[in-house]
Structure 1
């Protein structure tokens, strides 16, 4: 093997190919999983096919659609995911044309794969972030595998919602800002990169504005505490100037739809949830509590003090990136983000909750047996939860929830004000999802037809559900695209062959990544210099 620069540089590459292969292998066949993604796909379709932003026949005609210029209907979303779907839509059309595949299904699959690529890239950036936090090659590699396979990042990438794109933009921005201060403010291009990534996040979701001051606060606080204020105004100028093009792009997007640069099209009430109710729901409720969907956070009390002592500025920054969204979304009517796996609005915080776990990995041999056992148990549980989440569409949970509530005092109704399963343990999506995997396995491998759902789960009412979920979603099969019986692409043998190749690529990439991580050696003095930089920052803050 080569020296450290050659071998070590390959680790993030192989981690990226590993996660891309895994995420593509477990890609979902639920093409209509979420109405938000459906409407963004239709906007992409209108842009490519007709060079317009309005949708002629939207799949959904609720408050997510609003009449704008020309009296046409426009979706109220930002342009971020819509624009990134464009090349995938064009690629899907090309595949459909040359392979004689149905255009609608092929372009849907292609566009929905966006977050699979972004999710793999997110894992790579997390690895680089862990390295910049002072963790070794080996610890950073293991930590990245935990992040990509044992956290909600995996099912979130499969959902095709825009959250993975937001998470990526934020992590890139934070990583760039952190590299800027680690370099002792010598390379302002890192700050420009942080600004550009933050602008891309704002282009994707308007509430990304929450994070803009936090990112800038890191270099400003570092300068102030170290009494290096001579470049403070220049930092502010570079950061703000980098945001301006993105803000103008958002304004142009709004003006093109609604004739007003400040009109996003949002008409529904967003704020107003009682704060304590939303806070408890996000953190501890059986239906949406973060501690149940990401049980690894239970280890944090044993690792955060050491992380704080070793790297105080990064610890404070991470804490801010966790606390701020929790406080904001606790007051949101749609705090739950349903339909979705877990509290998806808090997923931006996941990298910063997982990063301190590297402290335990770094002192693994000296850590207590009880702590190591608890960590491994929580790791296995968390990974199992995420695997269950990607194995069966969550619409099977919604089908069963509707059936469970049909003959109660509060029959099921769609809409944020009407969901009430969050504090009923037996209606926990986690418990039902695990049972769904068991049921689908029985149905698939043993032919146990009592687990096949075909009838309507509720009486017909437009307010509660206008159609039967069993007719729209693959609730009676495993959710992987290569076993999709509803709208299969290519023949079964071809699909299974592609799946086998992806599995082989994942295993080969994993072996290569681990080999590079374990064989790599740091250049002399690198760890000393890096430790001094972090220590200096810790003393400054």
Structure 2
């Protein structure tokens, strides 16, 4: 009897893993939003966005000296790159006009503003969906099965700090998206010879330079990844030099182009092609405070930031991203079984993480200050952790039962920690540490806060202090669950019916997340069953019995 093979490609479009992953990513990004941008940094970048197309200044006079530096003609300028500001531009234009609609005329609060809600929801959903799709494509290109690739995307969405920065819109997820896109398409060029893929990958790395200049490390990592893949594959002689020549003649002009855009933006603001906004910031800070060290803002002892990023209970990358431990464990146990491309990626991202930790080790706020974990290195941590779950699944039998159990435990711990990171606005523990002191196990304190708030024990357990109440705006935001319906209710500006409707929509979104996740797992189960009944699988089973 002839067995007809049913390929996953024959499924309806809405049952395909890629579509379900995109839908799931969109829903997750939707339900975690607070309507706020997350931090003052992003709010300042949004103001720079607004200044690009309106007559408003990039920095208001009353914000100085806490924020801003003087540029050409004494005009106050932001000290950030233009990358994230350009990303938010379409949403800012739409949000500004939506905010002016008559229906919002009576909503005169800024807690959160209609414009912020539009920008945070649309931008975060867009970045999360594209990241999920690029991640899925990259894992498939590395040779992982569909179900293992899906698991890798789900781990990235739910078990790394990517989830936290989906709610709190710093530059991190945008940088991660561009870096991952660079790796994905430059590797695709290696596999297919497509010059278009190389251009796309190089453009992604180049765009990163507009966001944060230190992403030049990611750009270099892309080149290192290409070289390591070629070396691991045993490419030598003329073929090697031909590949290198094509890579350099394609990528370098693109990098120069984006570097030039960044320098032109620098010249437009500060009248200099070669200085950086960090240098100007340091100069003005020293003028206001001559007691600052000559090396400011890189005055910290190297060991403080280096070992702090690794082991400090307030910022350790292993505490905030336990999936990194799993990545290291699987790499140690299964290294000999890895493909050349996987070996190249693991080595590259490990070196990238080491480079980021080393670069920021002496920085005056190496910890990223107001952030969940060490935000300056979190994107590199996510990159290094990306293959942890797919590799665990691929080599489940080979690595042994103890490693498998440890891996599942680390994955579960990671998911719980990332979900906990969404519960409150991130400055809560920073305010509490003013009285609790240092060092503080921040992740543990977050779980204590969740329990205390849920049972109304914040005061009884000594988790409130005077510092939390000094800024009324901050106090409102750190004393409620950090999602939009609860924030609207806590701020007391939106009408009750709006709060109730938003709460219903939020619960519906949670239900949609669960349904989509179930549909995704069901689709993978079907594809696996189809693969088992294929002629090839049947033949292999027959040979096995013989």
Confirm or deny a common fold (TM above 0.5): yes
Give the match's secondary structure for 1:474.
helix
Work out the CA distance in 2 between the residues paired with 1:231 and 1:441. Answer: 59
Work out the CA distance in 2 between the residues paired with 1:182 and 1:8. Answer: 29
Contact 1:272 1:332 in 2 (8 A): yes
Contact 2:217 2:352 in 1 (8 A): no
Work out the CA distance in 1 between the residues paired with 2:173 and 2:167. Answer: 9
Does residue 41 of structure 1 match 2:17? Answer: no
Partner of 2:21: 15
Work out the CA distance in 2 between the residues paired with 1:448 and 1:277. Answer: 33
Contact 2:59 2:68 in 1 (8 A): no
- CA apart distance, 1:357: 3.3
Q: Relative to structure 1, is the Cα distance of residues 136 and 278 closer, same or farther in structure 2, using a 3 angstrom cutoff?
A: same
* Ranges in structure 1 where 5+ consecutive residues have no aligned partner: 406-420, 459-464, 528-541
Partner of 1:535: none
Work out the CA distance in 2 between the residues paired with 1:126 and 1:363. Answer: 20
Does residue 376 of structure 1 match 2:380? Answer: no
- CA apart distance, 1:33: 4.0
Work out the CA distance in 1 between the residues paired with 2:210 and 2:89. Answer: 15
Instruction: Say which of 331, 336, 339 aligns to 2:362.
Output: 331
**TM-score w.r.t. structure 2 length?**
0.82
Partner of 1:531: none
Moved more, 136-145 or 486-495: 486-495
Q: Relative to structure 1, is the Cα distance of residues 448 and 288 closer, same or farther in structure 2, using a 3 angstrom cutoff?
A: closer
Contact 1:15 1:513 in 2 (8 A): yes
Does residue 153 of structure 1 match 2:158? Answer: no
Instruction: Say which of 49, 58, 78 aligns to 1:54.
Output: 58
Does residue 457 of structure 1 match 2:475? Answer: no
Contact 1:397 1:429 in 2 (8 A): yes
Does residue 343 of structure 1 match 2:371? Answer: no
Partner of 2:287: none
Does residue 88 of structure 1 match 2:86? Answer: no
Partner of 1:415: none
Give the match's secondary structure for 1:345.
coil
Partner of 1:189: 196
Work out the CA distance in 1 between the residues paired with 2:365 and 2:404. Answer: 37
**TM-score w.r.t. structure 1 length?**
0.83
* Ranges in structure 2 where 5+ consecutive residues have no aligned partner: 283-295, 538-546
Aligned alpha-carbon RMSD (Å): 3.0
Large movers: runs of 4+ above 6 Å: 451-455, 521-527
Q: Relative to structure 1, is the Cα distance of residues 346 and 304 closer, same or farther in structure 2, using a 3 angstrom cutoff?
A: same
Contact 1:271 1:331 in 2 (8 A): yes
Instruction: Say which of 102, 115, 119 aligns to 1:107.
Output: 115
Contact 1:16 1:124 in 2 (8 A): yes
Q: Relative to structure 1, is the Cα distance of residues 280 and 452 closer, same or farther in structure 2, using a 3 angstrom cutoff?
A: closer
Work out the CA distance in 1 between the residues paired with 2:392 and 2:128. Answer: 25
Moved more, 277-286 or 352-361: 352-361
Does residue 289 of structure 1 match 2:327? Answer: no
Contact 1:173 1:193 in 2 (8 A): yes
Give the match's secondary structure for 2:364.
coil
Contact 2:29 2:124 in 1 (8 A): no
Contact 1:307 1:315 in 2 (8 A): no
Contact 1:54 1:72 in 2 (8 A): no
Please show how residues 105-504 of structure 1 align to structure 2 within 5 Å: 105-113=113-121, 114-183=123-192, 186-220=193-227, 222=229, 225-227=235-237, 228=239, 229-266=241-278, 267-268=281-282, 269-305=296-332, 306-307=334-335, 309-311=337-339, 312-349=343-380, 350-365=382-397, 367-405=399-437, 421=438, 424=439, 427-443=440-456, 450=460, 456-457=466-467, 467-468=470-471, 471-484=474-487, 485-486=490-491, 491-504=498-511
Work out the CA distance in 2 between the residues paired with 1:154 and 1:202. Answer: 23
Q: Relative to structure 1, is the Cα distance of residues 473 and 45 closer, same or farther in structure 2, using a 3 angstrom cutoff?
A: farther
